[in-house]
Amino acid sequence: MPRILDRLISQLTTKGMSKDKAYNTAIKVLTKSGNLDKDRNLTSKGKKRQAMGAHGRAKDRASKRAGRSSSEYKYNPATNRATLKMRKLNSKGFV
């Protein structure tokens, strides 16, 4: 079973979904998004997303949503979310 599928199943069961329902939901979501094909194998997109890891996918989602670079984000593993990094000001108060 692909790691990206295991990760999504784990997230869904943590939120209270039964294992069977989480599995079926994860298959449906990953197939619809183009990460899995109809035979439940990773597509080329799925292989790239899996290689990113959880932190890379979170940063990618956030950067696409905001139209920014993924390097501007930091990952929080507790929430599986990426947030903008704080910018440091120079001595005159400018970035």
Residue 55: is it exposed, middle or buried by C-beta count within 10 angstroms (0-12/13-18/19+)?
middle
Of the candidates 64, 27, 57, the one whose C-alpha atom is nearest the C-alpha of residue 42 is 27
Q: What is the pLDDT of residue 87?
A: 77
pTM, to two decimals: 0.79
With a cut of 70, which residues of the chain have pLDDT below it?
Answer: 89-95
The runs of H, that is alpha helices, within the chain are: 3-14, 19-32, 44-66
Bridge partners (DSSP) of residue 83 are 74
Q: What is the pLDDT of residue 94?
A: 61
Question: Which DSSP state fits 72?
Answer: G
- The answer to whether 31 and 38 have CB atoms below 8 angstroms apart is yes
